[in-house]
Structure 1
Amino acid sequence: MRRHWSVVVVMAVAGLLTACGGGMVRRVSEPAASIQQLTVNADGSWSVLLRLQNYSSIPMRFDTVQLDIEVGGHSAGKLLASPQLSIGPESADAIAVPFTPTSEGRIVLADALAGRRSLAYTLEGKVEAVPEEGKTRSFDIDTRNTLSPVPGLDGVLR
């Protein structure tokens, strides 16, 4: 009889815990931005495929991106975009952003491509995003990563 009651108590506690944990947790987390691909165009401008990562548990609409790009330790300019892009919870998407680099940025990138070397880059700035049914929030971005030349694709780094 005693064993029967302990089983009933355990089942009741498990049922209560299951009932309490049924709701979705609405968590807004810092998003991330990184360069997925950088392509040098014939005129010297760049096409930057910018990856936006939503780590939140709810959808976010990314409205504006203002990022300073540094390549190989040298300023390449400011990347500005207004993607107006909705990204689902814990998902990512990429946007193509035309970019006119500084002459110093062009030289550093051209040198890395000519030597088939990897190139460190930094993105620093802000991304404004709107959580589902919320108001615009500004998030600081500070990304440090590396791009490498893509074999067989001249002028392309990933």
Structure 2
Amino acid sequence: MRFRPQYALMAVLALVLTACGNGPVKRVSEPAASIQQLSVGNDGNWEVELRLRNYSSMPMRFDSVSLAVKVGDEAAGTLSASPALSIGPESADVIKVRLQPSSSARIVVADALAGGRSLFYELEGSVSATPEEKKQRSFDIKSRNSLNQAPGLPGVLR
């Protein structure tokens, strides 16, 4: 019996195609949240553009957000929203949330804006999201980051 390389090649190709037949692996990863922009209104309240990031390999619907905000060392309040927003796999989107901050947090932000300094902030809380064709899950969020004054936009930090 003689060895025929074309049969061996066909067998290897058949195995490769069989292994690929199950489709892409769907994984659910913890989402992330960060402040993309903070705008201080004339009334002292803030409009926060909250960036929600889906690190999963499938779309997720973000149902609710509840994140305590801390600026500097001062508690500012809680960002609460029910966006019901679908975000594609490994993508991000932004929601706007109004916040009436504590007076001490207003002072910290005003000082950062007046001095042209970075504003360090923390977010801590939870995000409820529903992965495609699965049950809703709650994810704990804890992040630290900073914002800088947006050039030419008074009262805006990015």
TM-score, normalised by the number of residues in structure 1:
0.93
Task: Tell me the distance in 1 between the aligned counterparts of 2:62 and 2:113.
Answer: 32
Task: Tell me the distance in 1 between the aligned counterparts of 2:132 and 2:47.
Answer: 30
Q: Name the residue aligned to 1:31.
A: 31
Structure 2 counterpart SS, 1:38 = strand
Give the superposition deviation at 1:29. Answer: 0.6
- 5 Å matches for 1:34-73? 34-73=34-73
Give the gaps of 5 or more residues in structure 1.
Answer: none
**Of 15-24 and 89-98, the range deviating more from structure 2:** 15-24
Structure 2 counterpart SS, 1:43 = coil
**Of 18-27 and 121-130, the range deviating more from structure 2:** 18-27
Give the superposition deviation at 1:14. Answer: 3.9
Q: Deviation per CA, 1:64-87, whole angstroms, max 9, x where unpaired?
A: 100010111211111111101011
TM-score, normalised by the number of residues in structure 2:
0.93
Give the gaps of 5 or more residues in structure 2.
Answer: none
Task: Tell me the distance in 2 between the aligned counterparts of 1:49 and 1:150.
Answer: 14
**Of 30-39 and 11-20, the range deviating more from structure 2:** 11-20
Task: Tell me the distance in 1 between the aligned counterparts of 2:70 and 2:39.
Answer: 16
What is the total number of aligned residue pairs between the two structures? 156
Task: Tell me the distance in 1 between the aligned counterparts of 2:157 and 2:75.
Answer: 18
Identity of aligned residues (%): 62
Q: Name the residue aligned to 1:120.
A: 120
Q: Deviation per CA, 1:41-99, whole angstroms, max 9, x where unpaired?
A: 00000000000001111111101100010111211111111101011111110001111
- 5 Å matches for 1:133-144? 133-144=133-144
Q: Deviation per CA, 1:14-44, whole angstroms, max 9, x where unpaired?
A: 4412331241211111000000110000000
Task: Tell me the distance in 2 between the aligned counterparts of 1:15 and 1:96.
Answer: 51
Task: Tell me the distance in 1 between the aligned counterparts of 2:112 and 2:27.
Answer: 41
